[in-house]
Amino acid sequence: MSPSDIIIAEGPQPDALDAVVALHRGYYAHAWNFGHFFEAKVAGEFAEFLDRYDPVHDRLFLALNRGRIVGSLVIDGGEPTVATQGAHLRWFIVDETCHGHGIGKALMDAGMRFVLANFQRCYLTTFAGLDAARGLYQRAGFRLTAETEAENWGTRVTEQRFEWHK
């Protein structure tokens, strides 16, 4: 695969729900031993996001390789807390077979262009150990603001909150 094989599409696409959930399920089950709780959480929250998707304040970016969804990143500007916390960067993932080809950077760049044009603040929650993603967050200007032990992911992790401000 070459970088020219990748297209970053914006907005909901057919099969986006299934593909984004499958990417998360596959990676996190294999690498982190996350189970059905995590899969159900991703599926439910992502479905709810798609149901209320409004291109005025939301953006779904999908990395496509010859039509197949191999990555995603969401800027969720429709949450009730957007006025106090900013937009929420969510569901950032790249298929493991596509790592190292600049897809994560391309998704992050697209997301941050949208954030810069529309928001003063943005935040994300993740957990310790996702070092490649953390590097992309930090290069985009996000700073770690909190760490806590949590089981919000279906297993115990050190949850992290990163924030970006204009």
Q: Is residue 25 part of a domain?
A: yes
Say how far apart CA 98 and CA 7 lie, in whole Å.
Answer: 13
Say how far apart CA 138 and CA 15 lie, in whole Å.
Answer: 31
Q: Is residue 144 part of a domain?
A: no
1 pLDDT exceeds 80?
A: no
Q: What is the domain-level CATH number for residue 106?
A: 3.40.630.30
Q: Where are the beta strands (DSSP E) in the chain?
A: 6-10, 58-65, 68-76, 87-94, 121-127, 143-150, 157-165
Q: Is residue 21 part of a domain?
A: yes
154 pLDDT exceeds 90?
A: no
76-107 confidence digits (pLDDT tens): 999 988 988 999 999 999 999 999 999 999 99
Q: Is residue 91 part of a domain?
A: yes
23 pLDDT exceeds 60?
A: yes
Q: Where are the beta strands (DSSP E) in 77-120?
A: 87-94
139-151 confidence digits (pLDDT tens): 999 999 999 998 7
Coil, strand or helix: which one is 87?
A: strand
Q: Is residue 145 part of a domain?
A: no
Q: Is residue 163 part of a domain?
A: no
Q: Is residue 100 part of a domain?
A: yes
Q: pTM for this one? A: 0.93
What is the count of structural domains for the chain?
1
Mean pLDDT of 146-161: 85
pLDDT at residue 125, rounded to an integer: 94
Question: Is residue 46 within 8 Å of 91, Cβ to Cβ?
Answer: yes
Expressed as residue numbers, the domain containing 86 is 3-124
Q: Is residue 157 part of a domain?
A: no
pLDDT at residue 146, rounded to an integer: 94
Question: Is residue 138 within 8 Å of 145, Cβ to Cβ?
Answer: no
Average pLDDT, the chain: 93
